[in-house]
Amino acid sequence: MEKEEIIKMLNEDFVRELEATMIYSYNSFIIENCDSSRVTEAISVDEMRHMWWLADLITKRGGKPTMKHKELDFGGDDLKSQLERQIQLETEGIKIYSQQIEEIDDEEVVGVLKHIIDEEKRHRKEFRMRLEEL
């Protein structure tokens, strides 16, 4: 895969992490102060860290991270729909990162993506546990 293609892909990943950070941060603000709000807040910080890792990969390859995101879907005003949306975002991320790992021959990028997948799986598990408790 050419460097430009990798940068484009990493920017798409970066935007997805940016969107997740904003969605989870917002949801943590409006979720009643409980375990789910604290977990959602902590995971939003993890997503922000993913942005830093991806931005580092992008800039090392001569690119610039983009902040252009689509309209955000927060999953509704109730905890159940928010958790369902957050599980959906984690599942989509895992699928996309897994596909990218198969396509990329850059060891550093693959290593970072594998680490992000591990965290996304943990996030999804945390959100599922909170959903099951409802």
Q: Give exposure, 37-72, as e/b (b: 16+ Cβ within 10 Å).
A: bebbeebbebbbebbebbbebbeeeebebeeeeeee
Residue 95: both structure tokens together: 């699928």
Asked if the model's pLDDT at residue 33 lies above 80, the reply is no
Q: Each residue of 50-59: pLDDT tens digit?
A: 999 999 999 9
Q: Is the dihedral of CA 93, 94, 100, 106 positive or negative?
A: positive
**Domains of the chain as residue ranges with CATH:** 3-133 (1.20.1260.10)
pTM (2 d.p.): 0.94
Residue 22: both structure tokens together: 């904003």
Q: Each residue of 96-120: pLDDT tens digit?
A: 999 999 999 999 999 999 999 999 9
Nearest alpha-carbon partner for 100 in 2, 3, 10: 10
Classify residue 62 by its DSSP letter: T
